[in-house]
Amino acid sequence: FTVTKQATTPFDGQKPGTSGLRKKVTVFQQPHYLQNFVQSTFNALPADQVKGATIVVSGDGRYFSKDAVQIITKMAAANGVRRVWVGLDSLMSTPAVSAVIRERIGADGSKATGAFILTASHNPGGPTEDFGIKYNMGNGGPAPESVTDKIFSNTTTISEYLIAEDLPDVDISVAGVTSFSGPEGPFDVDVFDSSVDYIKLMKSIFDFEAIKKLLTSPNFTFCYDALHGVAGAYAKRIFVEELGADESSLLNCVPKEDFGGGHPDPNLTYAKELVERMGLGKSSSNVEPPEFGAAADGDADRNMILGKRFFVTPSDSVAIIAANAVQSIPYFASGLKGVARSMPTSAALDVVAKNLNLKFFEVPTGWKFFGNLMDAGMCSICGEESFGTGSDHIREKDGIWAVLAWLSILAFKNKDNLGGGKLVTVEDIVRQHWATYGRHYYTRYDYENVDSGAAKELMGNLVSMQSSLSDVNKLIKEIRSDVSEVVAADEFEYKDPVDGSVSKHQGIRYLFGDGSRLVFRLSGTGSVGATIRVYIEQYEKDSSKTGRDSQDALAPLVDVALKLSKMQEYTGRSAPTVIT
């Protein structure tokens, strides 16, 4: 092949958000748009991570992925990359990409130093929906802000990119290596099934025999919904072929470019079919729901865990996994190095860390902040309220890992009653956890696609109010007399304990005397307008009061949050788009 230097001009707005660049497919389809971002990324990396390097290119398989794989491959070749690794049909879950970077060794002994992940995660896909791209580094984790800032600044000055126009498209529907020769030497495209590497890693972490005993036990029933995302490419191999679950326990496990028209976000609103099946929906069916249900998002890094007629909040989930990991999961048998959560995630994990005497960290939203802690051996398990849970086996959150972690806990608690008899259920485990540690009532209100100007004004007002807590408390007293006083208010700022870097403006916090919290953030993953997230949390230590309905328990605080922020006044919205 030959190398073409293509002249180009910058596009506005190519700033990577919480997790890469996410825009409408039609934006990405503009001539040079994707190319500018990819070249800006190559230019932001140290030369030895481009020239002669091995780079993974794959994603959740959403619409435009196949075109993007071919474009990025041609650009990689032109930029002197030695090998590109591609998942069959361009499919590779975000956690599998992380695992492949860290673990896979090519037939010629090569190792990858990074990856372009093609996903907009939980955002819908299809010709009129979202596409996305982000870069992960040699540790398997998202590029840190120092790199994404450089990528963005490159996008504002770019004037040309390199591409091998005459490199033929590679058939990515069959596994195998295709070799080419270019001006600087050979270039290979290696297409493979990443579930092999991923399953190997999962087997080195969990006791598959113990989980299989649970899944094949006559008194245990199971259900997994991939929402037509890339998790489906792993679910059958793992849950059915390896662990003996019945094929009928898989829902929507065929990956589709448009996720079957759905919103591949595993929560009570969008995972409708699973929610119905688990007995949490509106239609009352006579069929007995399964004991355990779970769902994933488009790129399979998120998870929702459900018991029979029971929802586990993600903030509780990570706390419960941390509290039970050492006994239930072989990978953690020698103890946890530490635990971490994102700032808006509830403090349920803090209480576990305190009780078990574990190192604990609170980081800004977005998985990239956990990576440094893990690389430094300071953190084993971490999680976010946004249905993200994971560990230091990779540097991304991991949806299937979370399900295997829960199945491991269930297998451990039930090891003596799998022949028949009464099982310890998901609900039992959660209620027992609350009885021991207290309960953090928690909810999140999302206002999606709000006018950007209005959202900024709302946030600005919440910041300026922080200068007088006595005024804030006067206002709150007028709204509700039954909530405690605000004792501190700030914008969250994080100093990375490993590299000392500082991230400012990471969410507006109002902290109450009884441990309750209100947090306000603008989303960094949307593609149009602004999304306002309101996080509402209240701690209840008294074990006789931990069984309430969470929306009831939180009603006073919700009232305060909406009136204090003047939500309706600024946004014109009388109700949130999604409540989780």
Q: Which residues are catalytic?
A: 121
- Any contact of residue 365 with ligand VG1 (CB under 6 A)? yes
Q: Whose CB is nearest to ligand VG1?
A: 121
- Which residues have C-beta within 8 Å of that of residue 243, sequence separation ≥ 6? 208, 211, 212, 215
Nearer to ligand VG1, 290 or 314 (CB): 314
The residues that bridge with 384 in the sheet, in sequence order, are: 388
Instruction: Report, in Å, the least distance between residue 328 CB and ligand VG1.
Output: 25
Instruction: Report, in Å, the least distance between residue 119 CB and ligand VG1.
Output: 7
Candidates 89, 188, 291, 299: give the one binding Co ion (CB under 5 A): 299
- Any contact of residue 386 with ligand VG1 (CB under 6 A)? yes
- Any contact of residue 301 with Co ion (CB under 5 A)? yes
- Any contact of residue 523 with ligand VG1 (CB under 6 A)? yes
Candidates 40, 121, 365, 386: give the one binding Co ion (CB under 5 A): 121
338 contact choice in Co ion, ligand VG1, none (CB below 5 to 8 Å, kind-dependent): none
- Which residues have C-beta within 8 Å of that of residue 376, sequence separation ≥ 6? 498
Candidates 533, 536, 556, 557: give the one binding ligand VG1 (CB under 6 A): 533
Within 320-349, which residues bind ligand VG1 (CB under 6 A)?
342
18 contact choice in Co ion, ligand VG1, none (CB below 5 to 8 Å, kind-dependent): ligand VG1
Per-residue x/- marks for Co ion, 268-297, CB under 5 A? -----------------------------x
Please give the helix or strand (H or E) that residue 491 lies within, else none. strand 486-491
CA gyration radius for the chain?
A: 24
Q: Write the burial class of residue 353 (CB in 10 Å: 0-12 exposed, 13-18 middle, 19+ buried).
A: buried
Instruction: At 209, list the tokens.
Output: 């025999």
Instruction: Find tokens 């580094």 and name the residue.
Output: 137
525 contact choice in Co ion, ligand VG1, none (CB below 5 to 8 Å, kind-dependent): ligand VG1
Exposed e or buried b per residue across 531-559, where buried means at least 16 C-beta atoms within 10 angstroms of its C-beta: bbbbbbbbbbeeeeebeeebeebbebbbe
Instruction: Report, in Å, the least distance between residue 87 CB and ligand VG1.
Output: 17
Number of H helices, E strands in the chain: 18, 26
What is the size of the binding site for Co ion (CB under 5 A)? 5
- Any contact of residue 19 with ligand VG1 (CB under 6 A)? yes
- Any contact of residue 524 with ligand VG1 (CB under 6 A)? yes
Nearest to 41 by CA among 152, 156, 138, 163: 152
CA angle at 423 for the pair 418 and 424, rounded to the nearest 5°? 125
Q: How many Å apart are CA 227 and CA 210, to the nearest integer?
A: 27
Q: How many Å apart are CA 558 and CA 443, to the nearest integer?
A: 9
Candidates 98, 121, 195, 443: give the one binding ligand VG1 (CB under 6 A): 121
Nearer to ligand VG1, 425 or 525 (CB): 525
Nearer to Co ion, 142 or 438 (CB): 142
- Any contact of residue 392 with Co ion (CB under 5 A)? no
Per-residue x/- marks for ligand VG1, 292-311, CB under 6 A? -----x---xx---------
Nearer to ligand VG1, 57 or 163 (CB): 57
Nearer to ligand VG1, 255 or 556 (CB): 255
Nearest to 18 by CA among 499, 534, 533, 571: 533
Q: In what order do the strands lie in the sheet with 21-24?
A: 21-24, 130-136, 114-118, 54-59, 83-87, 185-192, 176-182
Nearest to 83 by CA among 185, 175, 201, 174: 185
Candidates 195, 525, 538, 565: give the one binding ligand VG1 (CB under 6 A): 525
> Contact positions toward Co ion, by CB under 5 A?
121, 297, 299, 301-302
> Contact positions toward ligand VG1, by CB under 6 A?
18-19, 121-122, 297, 301-302, 342, 365-367, 384, 386, 388, 523-525, 533
